[in-house]
Chain A
């Protein structure tokens, strides 16, 4: 057990360079693919091209089973961002995971993760999609339980089961889709509207993957994974898969579905905003922020601006991965402690990483001329221009305001607070820094870059009062901040618990449901296994058979003479008849 531990994966100290070489090669491969896909995607966008590679397997019951790859600017752009981030994450984890004994397994898992994301994006076919979709769910589970502790196991199970629920919905929609005889998007796009059940199940699958309201409890739990993985999972790969699918199918969103999705996405924004406001775990705050951004994207998509939603997805991926990478460095500086109350005055202690962190933080709350601003501002303007219910508009603005508040709270705790924990282990790893700086560069330029390159030009004209809203926000913000955050939180404790525990969603999605089954099985166990049934039925039958066996065995104690005699007696009886 202890002797041959690690013998398979451990290359030994002498081969440490080999590991590095492996990762560096991967890194350069990923960057090469990033540049390639980015340029090709730009070309495809410029000339409005799309390329389909199809291999037909067979036809059965007039259903077409085929392997299909789609290259258009949407998939290429998305893939280029995925490869950029995964390359950075690989380089980063060379430093971050260097002390770990199962690093090679980690690299393989991350690589499989990227591969399944590749399949998910490239295959515009619901049947083939499930390859990548399932791969994402499985590998994310393996990554969440990478640290073999109880906490990561329980959160891994939560992640696995909710993702499996999403797979179930996707499989149901595939079953419905069999009526159309084909699972290609492009074939389905020839219809005006799809079956309501099919599209509804598809949307539900997307919602579970993107951690929207009723299924959102897994996202903060999945933070038990190593931080570089969270950076990859929660920025560009796993959670954005659902948004990507919604973008693809945005043509078929009927008015009922739009109503449903608006409600859910606004609920999620509120949920994540309050959750981040009352959370004290650094990576969970960022996870909540991701959840909020995702529902922001879904909201913008269902409001009709799905191109803007997609571009916000790309930009968000870059700055959010940077945020995670920086937070990973902070966590390792603090010896693994993730509580933001332990952090304070980090800006003095690690200025470079702090500036990276701040830039991505500002980007995520849309401070002007950081990359997140470009898409977020346009989306807000479009939402204001659209004829939306005033109540929804109010909640929408309130949620944006909440984003601001929790970002500022994070800023306060990390950089303004007095020193709570003096950092003595100065990590000076060039791999981690280089990857952070590369992403920093990208997150500064990427937002505006998208708008020059993709030639998206929006001119919006509307009332000036909406633009003043941000100033009202700031005024109200300081009041709120002073009352609730600087001082003790004087809200009644139930509300605090309600908001900080994600509206008790983890409870309702795990314990509440599972306890019913456990109680039932416990009842049955005590009724059958511990009751009289065990004795009366099973033990009695076994004893009966055993006794019979004893009698039958005693027959063989006789000699051949007795046997022959008995046989002949039998025959004489028959002759007498």
Chain B
């Protein structure tokens, strides 16, 4: 949700298998509400993965991976079990809180309407900067500010 679908890196075969294993476990979890039963099935699943673990032939290994992906796709759950606070779920962004940095982008005229607050805010920012410089040292010339 919202994340662009651009491959940022090329995963290795092992990474692909691990990802498949994780997704298969999640799928199993959504299908089986009963926890002990799910654990039993998870052991069986692990066994299936372990059996072909030491496969040296790259062609065969890729075929196993593709078969696994296909099986996962066919057995996908219609309502996968997702945590309530993850993206697209009920608790996601329930209480919108705007970031504090928004206040820095106010217009000077707008800021002038709350003089006391912004004076204190500037003071706090300065203190924070001093603290930062004391602990981590001054930023060098090569490190450009993000602004």
Contact = CB atoms under 8 A, between A and B. Distances in A.
Contact of A418 (B36, B74, B79): B36
Interface size class of B (residues with CB under 8 A): 20 to 34
Contact of A493 (B34, B74, B95, B102): B74
B90 A341 contact: no
B103 interface: yes
A420 B79 contact: no
Contacts of B33: 340-341, 344, 413, 417, 420
A280 interface: yes
Contacts of B75: 488
Question: Main SS of the interface on chain A?
Answer: loop
A340 B79 CA distance: 12
Given A1-B98, A149-B92, A149-B96, A336 B85 contact: yes
Given A2-B98, A148-B96, A149-B93, A341 B81 contact: yes
B117 interface: yes
A280 B74 CA distance: 20
B65 interface: no
A339 interface: yes
Most buried by A among B33, B78, B114: B33
Contacts of A418: 34-36
Contact of B34 (A342, A417, A501): A417
B131 interface: no
Contact of A150 (B74, B93, B98): B93
A456 B98 CA distance: 59
B104 to A, nearest CB: 12
Contacts of B79: 278-281, 500
Interface in B80-106: 81-85, 88-96, 98, 100, 102-103
Nearest to B97: A2
A493 B93 contact: no
Contact of A336 (B91, B96, B98): B91
B76 to A, nearest CB: 7
- Which 7 pairs across A and B sit closest by C-beta, in order of nearness? A337-B84, A149-B93, A341-B33, A336-B91, A147-B94, A280-B79, A500-B78
Contacts of A493: 74, 76, 78
A3 interface: yes
B98 A280 contact: no
B84 A338 contact: yes
Given A151-B92, A500-B79, A341 B30 contact: yes
Contacts of A576: none
A2 B105 CA distance: 13
Nearest to A421: B35
A226 B77 CA distance: 27
B114 A3 contact: yes
Most chain-B CB neighbours within 10 Å: which of A151, A152, A500?
A: A151
Most chain A Cβ neighbours within 10 Å, of B30, B88, B90, B117: B90
Interface in B104-138: 114, 117
Nearest to B89: A151
Interface of B: 30-36, 74-76, 78-79, 81-85, 88-96, 98, 100, 102-103, 114, 117
A325 interface: no
A417 B34 CA distance: 6
Contacts of A438: none
Contacts of B90: 149, 151, 224, 336, 338
Contacts of B92: 149-151
Contacts of A147: 94-95
Contacts of A278: 78-79
A151 B88 contact: yes
A94 B8 CA distance: 49
A149 B36 CA distance: 36
A497 interface: yes
Nearest to A412: B33
B111 to A, nearest CB: 11
11 contacts: A101-B95, A149-B90, A149-B96, A151-B88, A335-B84, A336-B91, A341-B30, A417-B33, A420-B35, A489-B31, A500-B78
B76 A149 contact: no
A496 interface: yes
Interface string A1-36: 111000000000000000000000000000000000
A147 B30 CA distance: 27
Contact of B117 (A3, A101, A150, A279): A3
Contacts of A151: 88-90, 92
A496 B88 CA distance: 21
B121 to A, nearest CB: 11
Nearest to A280: B79
Given A1-B102, A338-B84, 15 more contacts: A1-B98, A3-B117, A147-B94, A148-B95, A149-B96, A150-B88, A152-B94, A280-B81, A336-B90, A341-B30, A344-B33, A413-B33, A488-B32, A493-B74, A497-B78
Task: With a 10 A CB-CB cut-off, give which of A2, A3, A341, A344 has the most chain B CB atoms.
Answer: A341
Contacts of B102: 1-2
B81 A339 contact: yes
